Amino acid sequence: MDYDKLLNLGTELGCRLMESGAEIYRVEESVRRLLTAYGVEPQVFAIPNCLIVSVNTPEEHPLTRMCRIPAHGTDIELLERCNQLCRYLCNQPVPVLEAQELVADLPRGLRGFSPKILVLAYGATAAFFALFFGGGLLEWLAAALCGLAAGVCLLYGQRFIGSNTFFRTTICAALISGLALLLVTLGLGKDLEAISIGALMVLVPGMALTNAMREIMAGDVFSGLNRTAEVILVATAIALGTALPLLLGQGAPGGGGGQTEGIDLLPCLWAMLACVGFGLVFNIQGWGVLICGFGAGLGWLAYLAAMELSANDILSAFLAAVVIGGYSEWMARLRRCPVTGYLQVALLPLVPGAGIYHAMQYCVGGYTQLFLTTLLHTFGMAAALSVGAMLTSSVLRAILPRFAPLGR
């Protein structure tokens, strides 16, 4: 057995998983299962930008590989291919050289959407989130224009503004907020907040905050704190980018959102359509993108129903996350693919993206007490979503253990 090549195999697969946006626990578990299938007991440690894998040879000679992971987005198609290959190799270990070739072939022929389609997806996501947050037809059109501008900035602006996440986010946030203010000034819409939040949802790290809370609760404290620092950095960039438009556009901060009294089914539709756009950005192929969108609408319906019963938004978010978690787990098992895409996209209408926006709005306006209150409430919402999703996952793992391991 060539332990060097075997170690390279596990490290390469782990790096591909991390580049696809897989959760830390999935990366560590997949690499561990793969190397165990080849007869070794590895030690695997992963954080969002680094992977370390170590094994001992029969002569007790330790071998270690470390791989630094560059900045990356979320690619559910790549994640599903990595998951399928890991399943195959665990069930039927082929020679190590052949397995290395299979891992190297993962990015080849990978299905993806063209930049033009992705720009349209950004526009559609912003437009329907504007409706979701209470805007009308004019706000829908204005947010679509802002979303298109954000898509062009993110996809084509790298050669001009570089790849630094902080500066890129600052410039995109300034572009979105400035364009939203200009359009409202010209009469294209009246609700600046709905337009701004709808378009900024493509930047606001609400999902990153929820994932950070999930990892902390799962015991990956270092990774969770790493992601929390990333959330703070991105939120600061958004605050800097939107500072001047916010000060020019309004004198006192608002606290609006997409919530109305009673159960209104239209926001569920807007949530579904907005998340279909996000599914395209995350490179979810085929029927999966519609399944994710339906999960988002279902989750928001569950949230509204819970609000009717409890009138407590954190408790309602928890119950909605339980519903979304159950739906996502079930769909993942039926389609034999990771739950990641279904869960992350379906949770998007509930993640505290608007909460982060409002917190930064209060900070820029000098409303310290409101800033702290909104920030704590935002963390509470993220924690509720994390606990709800993790609770469902844990229960289903215990009830359906034969489906649990790698397909999730």
Using the CB atoms, write b or e for 7-17: b if 16+ within 10 Å.
Answer: bbbbbbbbbbb
Could you tell me if 203 and 69 lie in one domain?
Answer: no
- Residues 100 and 130 both lie in one domain: no
Question: Which percentage of the chain shows pLDDT scores above 90?
Answer: 29
Q: Which residues of 350-365 are buried (b: 16+ CB within 10 A; e: fewer)?
A: bbbbbbbbbbbbbbbb
Provide the mean pLDDT of the chain: 84
What gap in Å lies between CA 136 and CA 148, rounded to an integer?
Answer: 18
What are 308-315's contacts with CB under 8 Å, separation 24+? 308/262, 308/263, 313/259, 313/381, 314/377, 314/380, 314/381, 314/384, 315/384
Q: pLDDT band at residue 274, thresholds of 50, 70 and 90?
A: very high
- Residue 142 sits in the same domain as residue 232: yes
Do 83 and 115 touch, CB atoms closer than 8 A? no
Q: What is the DSSP string of 84-149?
A: HHHHHHHHSPPPHHHHHHHHHTTTTT-----HHHHHHHHHHHHHHHHHHTT--HHHHHHHHHHHHH
**Final residue of a domain: which of 80, 104, 128?**
104
167 shares its domain with 244: yes
The encoded tokens of residue 214 equal 């999930």
Q: Which two tokens stand for residue 225?
A: 């704190």
| Domain of 38, in residue numbers | 3-104
- Which amino acid is it at 333? R
Average pLDDT over residues 148-152: 92
In this structure, are residues 340 and 26 in contact, taking their beta carbons and an 8 Å threshold?
A: yes
Given a contact cutoff of 8 angstroms between Cβ atoms, the answer to whether 327 and 393 are in contact is no
Same domain, 150 and 212: yes
Q: How far apart are the C-alpha atoms of 376 and 262, rounded to whole Å? A: 26
The per-residue pLDDT for range 93-138, each reduced to its tens digit, is 999 999 999 999 888 877 888 889 999 999 999 999 999 988 999 9
Domain boundary among 45, 73, 104: 104
Same domain, 64 and 166: no
Q: How many domains in the chain?
A: 2
| 340 and 389 part of one domain | yes
pTM of the model: 0.82
What mean pLDDT do residues 284-313 have?
Answer: 89
Mean local confidence (pLDDT), 356-383: 81
In a domain, residue 109? The reply is no
Name residue 52's beta-bridge partners: 45, 66
Share of the chain above pLDDT 70, in %: 90
